Amino acid sequence: MKFIPSQIAFFLRGKTTQRNIIALMRFLALLAALVSMYSVLFHYIMEAEGQSHSWVTGFYWTLTVMSTLGFGDITFHSDLGRLFSLVVLLSGIIFLLVLLPFSFIQFFYAPWLEARNRARAPRALPADIRGHVLVTNTDPVGMSLVRKLVSYKTPYALLVSDMQTALDQHDAGISVVLGDWDDPETYRHLQLDSAALVLANGSDERNTNIVATVRVLHPTVPIISTADSPDSVDIMTLAGSTQVLYLTDMLGRALARNIIGNTRHANILARFDELLVAEAPANGTRLVGRTLAESRLREEVGVNVVGMWDRGVFVIPSPDSQIGNSVILVLAGSEEQLAAFDRSVDSPAMRETFVLILGGGRVGRRAAAALREMGHEHVIVEKNPDEIRDDTPYVLGSAADIDALQRAGIDKATSVIITTRNDDTNIYLTIYCRRLRPDLHIISRSTLEQNISTLHHAGADLVLSYASLGLNAIMNFLKNNRVFMIAEGLDIVNVPVPSSLVRRTLQESGIRKKTGCSVIALRSNGESIVNPAPNTLLLENMEMVLIGRVDSIRLLLDTYAIALDADRSGVSHPPSIVDG
């Protein structure tokens, strides 16, 4: 109840509201004059018929007739009186039953309801908020970041300019602020001075405007912006963006980097001093059909298999874990160990690569350019001749047409990359290619996160998206390179050894049993212990590098009261991933 007066006060402050109230009052005044006039005429006509009634009765009769109630206790006997009754009845239908409700809704109820919603939608953040992230659009990258920030309990605000969208997000439990993205006052209400990061993730023109507006207000706050065009990268940098993510290039290169037969079979994901974390598809290697123990990877080359992906499902492996044709290994080891792994699984068949790219749009062309740089033979299948460039080998036709695929060389392809921006089409083509070639290595693009699992189920060995690549770069920047996302829902973190575990061995700590996270390296005084043994002693001022699901890492942070916003550590990444 205390909230209603504040809503009404907010409602009455607006100039539009005041004009609406005046218009409504004028209509009510006209209606009151009409009722009074009819009441006076009622008396004159009744007197002419020889009937006498009070003034109250006149108003009573007028309102019952105008409202169509017509009790019938007071009636005229002359034709003039009956004709007058008809006029009062018809005008009552128009004024009381049509215009009055419409005017009330139009000039009072609807504006009041909108004002009530506007009062409910937050327009500012608390003045004491610190270290928060400002997200300026509800695209897949922005919403993925919001979910990740929630999982790590990092304060944030989602800026929305549409009131209904803001209310929907607010009702869904998202920290949202209603405001215009090009209004400097909006960013003052968002406590820009104490923000940790601003993400400009809309169109290129809008992002440039946001960057320029924010940079005028605050010359040093970090700004990450996304770009759809290569020309926009330089423009946003000139406008003041700290880092520009050219997602099309990032996605195209990432798709090309994961083909079967790449120069390096193990693709490096993150670097922690001497420790490298990489992923390697088992398809086409000697590992297929063996258990992890039978592969003898740790004994022969020194790498540690810390995880296994199989069509989107991640598991912490055991010695009895079977390595199938669709499995992607997550490896931890040194540069020398990963090089030894490449040599151990390399074969002439793997070096003979031929890649089919389905879709000749921007992502498909970027993937083709990356393959050309790596020296891999490839062909694009594209049905729109306007998407074809002269320097790109292509087959003109539909990727759903068996003749077009055969002309492109699907029978000899080692990998196929599906790059259309329509997830329905990608799912269809994944199922089709898997049926044509059960042994084919299929890499697919996904536009929406909700379709990643469906694409895996359809037969894709690996699925990449704008959202996951963009989120990865943003989280690494935000968390001082202490968080690295391998895939959706799977992270690597770099944290200090909790005081409660100091002077215990890795086995005695029970970290994996308690939290589900695996320690893949220990760092101390600039040196790293890669794949530490269970009897390794945990010391003070030592840091742990762990891999686990987001919920497992969240449990680890909560259990040992670890904060991730510490000083920037030595995590680095391949430039093609972070810098595009």
Report the SS3 class of residue 54. Answer: coil
Q: What is the pLDDT of residues 423-444, one digit of tens each?
A: 999 999 999 999 999 989 899 9
Q: Is pLDDT of 574 > 50?
A: no
Q: pLDDT tens digits, residue range 89-104?
A: 999 888 888 888 888 8
Task: Give the up-direction half-sphere exposure of residue 399: CA atoms within 13 A in the CB hemisphere.
Answer: 25
Q: According to the per-residue pLDDT averaged within each range, which of 51-65, 267-281, 300-314 is highest?
A: 51-65
Helix (H) or strand (E) run with residue 571 in it: strand 571-572
Chain centre distance of CA 215: 24
The highest-confidence range among 145-159, 166-180, 186-200, by mean pLDDT, is 186-200
* For residue 566, pLDDT beyond 60: no
State whether residue 329 is helix, strand or coil.
Answer: strand
Burial of 546 (0-12, 13-18, 19+ CB in 10 A): buried
The lowest-confidence range among 41-50, 220-229, 256-265 is 256-265
Average confidence score pLDDT of the chain: 85
Mean pLDDT of 516-524: 86
342 or 443, higher pLDDT: 443
Q: What is the pLDDT of residue 9?
A: 55
pLDDT at 517 > cutoff 90: no
C-alpha angle with apex 300: 296 to 304, nearest 5 degrees? 65
Tell me what pLDDT residue 244 has.
Answer: 95
Give the DSSP per-residue string, 63-88: HHHHTT---SSS---SHHHHHHHHHH
Q: Do 146 and 176 meet the contact criterion of CB atoms below 8 Å apart?
A: no
Domains parsed from the chain with CATH numbers: 3-120 (1.10.287.70), 132-241 (3.40.50.720), 263-349 (3.30.70.1450), 483-563 (3.30.70.1450)
pLDDT at position 349 is 53
**What are the tens digits of pLDDT across the range 350-402?**
557 899 999 999 999 999 999 998 889 999 999 988 877 767 799 999 999 99
Q: Could you please report the per-residue DSSP string of 495-543?
A: EEPPGGGTT-BHHHHTHHHHHS-EEEEEEETTEEEES--TTPBP-TT-E
Tell me the whole-structure pTM to 2 decimals: 0.71
SS (H, E, C) 260-312: CCCCCCCEEEEEECCEEEEEEECCCCCCCCCEHHHHCHHHHCCCEEEEEEECC
Joined together, the tokens standing for residue 231 give 């020309």
Query: The tokens of 124 are what?
Result: 């500012």
- Is the four-CA dihedral 41, 44, 48, 52 of positive or negative sign? positive
Percent of the chain with pLDDT over 90: 41
Q: Determine the Cα–Cα distance for residues 369 and 231; give it in Å rounded to an integer.
A: 17
Helix (H/G/I), strand (E/B), else coil: 107:
helix
Contact 224, 198 (CB under 8 A): yes
Tens-place pLDDT, residues 14-66: 667 677 778 778 888 998 999 999 999 998 899 888 888 998 999 999 999 99
Per-residue buried b or exposed e for 41-59, using 16+ beta carbons within 10 Å of the residue's own CB? ebbebbeeeeeeeeeebbe
Strands 490-496 and 462-465, sheet pairing: unpaired
Torsion sign over Cα 12, 14, 18, 23: negative
Query: 60 or 269, which is more confident?
Result: 60
CA distance 28 to 103: 9
